[in-house]
Each structure stands twice: as C-alpha cells, then as structure tokens.
Amino acid sequence: MTMPQTITVLALDVDGVLTDGKLYIADNGNVMKTFHAHDGLGISLWQKCGFHIVLISGRNENSVTVRANELGIEHVFQNSKNKIADLQSCIQAIGCTTEQVCFVGDDLGDLSIMNHVGYSIAVQNAATEVKTASDWVTSLPGGEGAVREAIEYLMKANGTWDSSVASMMQEHANQ
C-alpha cells in the first residue's frame, strides 16, 4: 500500500465530499450547493506547497466552476462518465503516477477509482462499502470540513503542515 506521505495529487469527488451531498433545486432548475470555508483554506495550503488538486464530478454545475476558480483549481472534470479515464489524462499532464494520487470519495460510484489510485480516503458519512475499501476515514462528514481534515492528515504525514501553518500566520501578521 502507498504511504500517505508520498501523495502529491489529491483528487476529490464533489457531491458528498466537498459538499454535504444536498442539491437545492429551484423551480427554474438551478441547483445550489454549499462549500465549507475550512476546506477552501486547506486546499490553498496544499496548493501553496506545490501539490495538486483535481475535482471529478459526475454532475455539471456552474457553482462548482465558480468555487474551483475561487480556489485556483486547474484540474476540474464535470459530467465525468469515466472518473478513472479523466484522472489518467490529468496525471499525465501533471507528470506523476497513480501511486502518488489520493482520492477522497463518499459513495459507490467512487469505489473503482479508489481501488485504482495509491491511497484512498472516505468521508465519515460515506457508504459502508466505501469506508471498507478506503485506507483512512475522516472524522468529519462531507461538506463539513472532511477535505480539510484529509489535507491536514496528508500534510502532517509528509511533514509540510507545521511550516505551512507558520507561514500563513506570518502572512497574516504582516497584513
């Protein structure tokens, strides 16, 4: 099994991982979802260390594009019909192997990609099968800071967490 400290690419499912999985559907068909600020800051810390984020969603919503742009996430796959194929094209562009990828998932549609990558994490309220297949399970549910928790776990494993927090505190002290 890949060790968490060798992970350089964090691939995330969207619904139920970055969100709580709820879809607020308006009468006009527009879909709204909520994202957690703690996840956003964690993603920024991860990217500042030179690591990569990939979003892979089976759905296609502008709110995801907006959130990805806010966080400077370059690799976004929506309306994904084959999560493994989309990930594969992306890691070729990044120049790493599947062994260096950690996928965070919550539901049965994530199982094949979780088995394909080097390391997998399930959110606390994931389907039982997903939790069983994962290498690690967060204590927080999807959309409630689970991604932040996963990032903190990976960065503590590879030794970048403490210095990243220290430089963020320094940045704020200088503002």
Contact set with Mg ion (CB under 5 A): 13, 15-16, 106-107
Q: Please say whether the beta carbons of 57 and 64 come within 8 A.
A: yes
Q: Give the residues across from 105 on adjacent strands.
A: 122
Q: Which is nearer to Mg ion, 20 or 160 (CB)?
A: 20
Q: Which is nearer to Mg ion, 11 or 45 (CB)?
A: 11
Give residues with Cβ within 8 angstroms of 3, minimum separation 6: 119, 157
Q: Determine the Cα–Cα distance for residues 39 and 112; give it in Å rounded to an integer.
A: 24
Q: Please say whether the beta carbons of 153 and 4 come within 8 A.
A: yes
Please, what sign has the CA dihedral across residues 77, 63, 114, 109? negative
CB of 59 to Mg ion, least distance (A): 9
CB of 13 to Mg ion, least distance (A): 4
Q: Which is nearer to Mg ion, 20 or 152 (CB)?
A: 20
Q: Which is nearer to Mg ion, 16 or 42 (CB)?
A: 16
CB of 113 to Mg ion, least distance (A): 11
CB of 5 to Mg ion, least distance (A): 26
Nearest residue relative to Mg ion (C-beta) = 16
